[in-house]
Amino acid sequence: MTQRGNNNNNKTMIIILVVLCVLAVIALVGLVWVIARNGDDGADTDVISNVEYVVVYDLEGKEVEVPKNRLQAYLDEGYTMEKPDKKPDVSLDRYGDAVVLYNPNGGTIEVSPEDVEQYLDREGDDKYYTEPVMYIYHVTEERKVVKTSESEEYLKATKLNDDGTEEEIDSLERWYAQPVVVMYAPANRYVVINSAQEYVEQYIEAGWHTEPVAAVKRGTEEKIVKLEELDKYLADGWKEFNPKAKPCDICQSTDHVTEEHPFCQYCNSGAHLTENHPVCRFCYSKAHTSNQHVCSRCGKRGHNEGSCNLETCDICGQTGHSRAGHTCTKCGGKGHDASACTVKCDICGQTGHSRAGHTCTKCGGKGHDASACTACNYCGSTSHTTQGHPICQHCGSGDHTSTCQYCCTQSHESWAHPTCSWCGQKTHTSDGHDEYVATH
């Protein structure tokens, strides 16, 4: 009985050992499969150097060598095994890995290359383009998208005839850079204005209408009717007439409302146009009148150097100023010349200028020397101190600045700095990974 019990125990132990061996083999096989699947990211330099490489191509057709065990990751990012026949049509104006797209309302957006198509396929105001664009508008309420670089051609107010002369384009046929609307007055008069409500209300108050109209009267009664109803009124005994439109309060013209009266750009007067502004007879400038012209000799107004009658200076012999107005070439003072100058600087001890005229050799300012100068040691600016001077985020030098903390450049931000495809760090590139691992 005892011997049979011992045999059963031995059989149980053998089964347990066999099961454990099978589990160990399965675990070992699984470990080897995982290493082969994921690559040797944690391997030492000797193992990495034996990795097999394959060639793939980016969006621009540039050849790139990548580890074979990471091939799928590159294919998922848009790389291909075959070189593209041509460059893609999408914009390659990039910030890092982003593509810049443009909206006709003036907005821009940065998207990943794989999301570009969905933005290009949108409709209306949500649609984006691969280059700067804008809306242009027509009086028919039509609008269309054009390239910003070509908009000037669409917005021209004149056209060139075959004989070389320019002809003004009818305001109802041309395009505009903002939404517009046509305002009407009797006698087939119309004007195209900005469609903003404030402008429309100004014209309505001045007697204009948002649809074609005519003026009719019968006896002493007068009224404004829709142009499409004119025939009905004429058949009923009314007569069409041309009423006086409300004139501009400034010039009495009926071609525009008071709020749009043109003002002179020199004096802001509404009494005359810019091209009719008075010209100074001494210098032919429109910036001032003849009575405001300043003589460069005496500093008085109303005449020029040719008609200046100031006495002759007994120091230099020139006319236009007296002895009291003579300027010393040393100190800049009045009433004496350099040979008689007694002004002495208490900073440098030289004659010819005072402390206020002493020039700092560091910043070029006046009234102090370099030892007392608070200007920045890097750039010499007085707007900030040396401690406040912007420095490079990468190396800490004040000789240059950087927008990237990983390199001394202003061509990209820190987030756009190239990343090592092996370890994901920005301190080195994929090509320099081996060297970085060996030295760190």
DSSP tag of 323? G
For residue 203, give its domain range.
179-260
Mean pLDDT of the chain: 76
Query: Could you give the angle at the alpha carbon of 212 between the alpha carbons of 208 and 218, nearest 5°?
Result: 85
- Of these ranges, 46-60, 114-128, 299-313, 393-407, the one predicted with the greatest mean pLDDT is 114-128
Length of the chain: 440
Where among 26, 60, 86 does a domain terminate?
86
Residue 135 counted as domain residue: no
- Which pLDDT belongs to residue 36? 60
Residue 92 counted as domain residue: no
Residue 76 counted as domain residue: yes
How far, in Å, CA of 277 to CA of 259, rounded? Answer: 21
- Of these ranges, 106-120, 240-254, 410-424, the one predicted with the greatest mean pLDDT is 106-120
- Which pLDDT belongs to residue 38? 54
Where among 203, 226, 260 does a domain terminate?
260
Which residue from 174, 184, 102 is spatially nearest to 137, judged by alpha carbons? 174
The yes-or-no verdict on residue 95 having pLDDT over 50 is: no
Amino acid code (one letter) for 332: G
The yes-or-no verdict on residue 89 having pLDDT over 70 is: no
Residue 25 counted as domain residue: no
Domain count, the chain: 3
Residue 191 counted as domain residue: yes
How far, in Å, CA of 364 to CA of 373, rounded? Answer: 10
How far, in Å, CA of 404 to CA of 407, rounded? Answer: 6
pLDDT in tens, 175-220: 888 889 999 988 888 888 888 888 888 888 888 899 999 999 988 8
Where among 67, 86, 105 does a domain terminate?
86
pLDDT-above-70 percentage for the chain: 77
Residue 252 counted as domain residue: yes
How far, in Å, CA of 236 to CA of 218, rounded? Answer: 9
Residue 240 counted as domain residue: yes
Residue 159 counted as domain residue: no
Q: What are phi and psi of 414, to 5 degrees?
A: -60, -40
The yes-or-no verdict on residue 17 having pLDDT over 70 is: yes
pLDDT in tens, 227-282: 999 999 999 998 988 876 667 776 767 666 666 667 666 666 666 666 777 888 88
